Amino acid sequence: MSLLFVHEAEDREYLLAPGETLECDLGVLEVPEDVTPGEIVESHIGEPFTARKLRGPDLFNHFERTGAPMMPRDIGLIVGHTGISGADDVLDAGTGTGVLAAYLGRCGASVTTFERDPEFAEVARENVELAGVADRVDVRTGDVTDQLGDLDRYDVVTLDTEDAPTMVERTPNLLRDGGYVAVYSPFVEGTREAVSAAHEVGLSEVETLETIQREMDFDDRGSRPSTAGVGHTGYLTFARRV
């Protein structure tokens, strides 16, 4: 499995597999086949790189992108509000880069995820392999609405698609008792439609949250929220089958 090789002084990091070679202005770094996390490997000019095991945020930073992926802050809300764990089966519609599916797989859940674009799906499979969860995340190519008759029931359904409101209408037949549906949308119009659909089909505990985070700035003058922006990423709607 690939590891991060971090050069602390230069604040750089490279994703490399055992046996690979990196050539850069810090020298030639030859990664040993038996390298382990925490080990320091030097380039041919003596520059030190520390090997680190990949964590979720590292995967987010180094996954190949096919579009705008879901942010870790949104994924955290999904995990926290649905309680996804290693005993759960998850249906994920709208794989994209595969960030959400990979995170959930690393939580121990078994994930079946659908991506309409074959090229996007192939990239997601490579990312899932990089994350070390290919045995728990099944990336399927196609429209999930065409496969509903062949699907089982799930503990959680996650939706990041334009037709999410239509999928919400189907979730009573896809969720196990007590299961959750989580809908992500960057736009409030689609969120409103998803909320209406959840109420129409009798889902309970319907709530919507806007994800906003602001970084803090600390300097000699004082401390205050950053003026770089409000940090909006999207809206998350949760509902539960009783």
The pLDDT value recorded for residue 206 is 98
CATH superfamily of 58-240: Vaccinia Virus protein VP39 (3.40.50.150)
- CB-based contact 3:53 (threshold 8 Å): yes
What are 56-111's pLDDT values in tens digits? 889 888 999 988 888 999 999 999 999 999 999 999 999 999 999 999 999 999 99
Percent over 90 (pLDDT), the chain: 83
- Residue 149 is which amino acid? G
- CB-based contact 183:193 (threshold 8 Å): no
The pLDDT value recorded for residue 226 is 85
Domain boundaries in the chain? 3-52, 58-240
pLDDT band at 230 (very low <50, low <70, confident <90, very high): low
Mean pLDDT of 162-184: 96
Concatenated DSSP letters of 20-87? -EEEETTEEEEPPTT--TT-EEE-TT--EEEEE---HHHHHHHSPPSS-PPPHHHHHHHHHHHT--TT
- CB-based contact 161:183 (threshold 8 Å): no
> Quick one: tokens of 152?
């089982």
Return d(Cα 129, Cα 163) in angstroms, integer.
28
Return d(Cα 201, Cα 31) in angstroms, integer.
55
The pLDDT value recorded for residue 227 is 78
The answer to whether residue 228 scores a pLDDT higher than 80 is no
Please check whether the two domains, 3-52 and 58-240, share a CATH topology.
no
- Residue 56 is which amino acid? G
Which pTM does this prediction carry? 0.88
The answer to whether residue 3 scores a pLDDT higher than 80 is yes
The answer to whether residue 214 scores a pLDDT higher than 90 is no
Query: 42 in helix, strand or coil?
Result: strand
The answer to whether residue 153 scores a pLDDT higher than 70 is yes
Choose the weakest-confidence range: 63-67, 140-144, 227-231.
Answer: 227-231
pLDDT band at 201 (very low <50, low <70, confident <90, very high): very high
Evaluate whether the domain defined by 3-52 bears CATH number 3.40.50.300.
no
Of 60 and 138, the structure prediction assigns the larger pLDDT to 138
Of 92 and 214, the structure prediction assigns the larger pLDDT to 92
The answer to whether residue 233 scores a pLDDT higher than 90 is no
pLDDT band at 229 (very low <50, low <70, confident <90, very high): low
State the average pLDDT for the chain: 94
Strand 12-16 with 48-52, pairing:
unpaired
